[in-house]
Structure 1
Amino acid sequence: MIRFENVTKIYKTDGHRRTILERVSLTLKPGISYGILGINGAGKSTTMRMIGGTEEPTSGKIKRALRVSWPLGFGGGFHPMMTGRDNVIFVARVYGEDPKRVLDYVEDFSELGSYLDVPIRTYSSGMSQRLAFGMSMAIPFDCYLIDEVTAVGDARFQRRCSEVFAERRQTADVIMVSHSMETIREWCSQGIVLINGRAIIYEDVNDAIEVYRRLNA
Structure 2
Amino acid sequence: MIHLQNICKTYTLKGRHKVVADNITATFPSGVSVALLGRNGAGKSSLLRMISGAMLPTSGRILSTGTISWPVGFAGSFNGELTGEQNCRFVARVYGVDTEELLHFVEDFAELGDHFRLPIRTYSSGMRSRLAFGLSMAVPFDTYLVDEVSAVGDAAFKAKSNRVFKERMRNAGAIVVAHSMRMLQRNCQAGAVLENGKLTFFDNIDDAIAAHLQNMETGKAPVS
Which structure 2 segments of 5+ residues have no match? 218-224
Corresponding residue of 1:129: 129
User: 1:1-53 CA distances to partner (integer Å, 9 max, x unpaired)?
Assistant: 10111111110111011111122111111122111112222111111111111
User: 1:152-187 CA distances to partner (integer Å, 9 max, x unpaired)?
Assistant: 444444433333222112111121112222222222
Secondary structure of 2:17's match?
A: strand
Corresponding residue of 2:181: 181
Which structure 1 segments of 5+ residues have no match? none
Q: Take 1:8 and 1:182, find their aligned partners in 2: how far apart are those partners?
A: 31
The answer to whether the 8 A contact 2:66-2:143 is kept is yes
The answer to whether the 8 A contact 2:137-2:165 is kept is yes
Q: Take 2:153 and 2:195, find their aligned partners in 1: how far apart are those partners?
A: 35
Q: Take 2:6 and 2:159, find their aligned partners in 1: how far apart are those partners?
A: 41
| Number of positions where the alignment pairs a residue of Structure 1 with one of Structure 2 | 217
Corresponding residue of 1:141: 141
Corresponding residue of 1:160: 160
TM-score, normalization by structure 1: 0.92
Secondary structure of 1:150's match?
A: helix
Q: 1:160 to 1:210 in 2, by over 3 A?
A: closer
Q: Structure 2 matches for 1:77-156, cutoff 5 A? A: 77-156=77-156
Secondary structure of 2:149's match?
A: coil
Instruction: Give the C-alpha shift of residue 76 in structure 1.
Output: 1.4
Q: 1:192 to 1:138 in 2, by over 3 A?
A: same
Structure 1 vs Structure 2: percent identity of aligned residues?
47
Corresponding residue of 1:64: 64
Q: Take 2:17 and 2:212, find their aligned partners in 1: how far apart are those partners?
A: 24
Secondary structure of 2:150's match?
A: coil
Q: Take 1:110 and 1:10, find their aligned partners in 2: how far apart are those partners?
A: 37
Secondary structure of 1:105's match?
A: helix
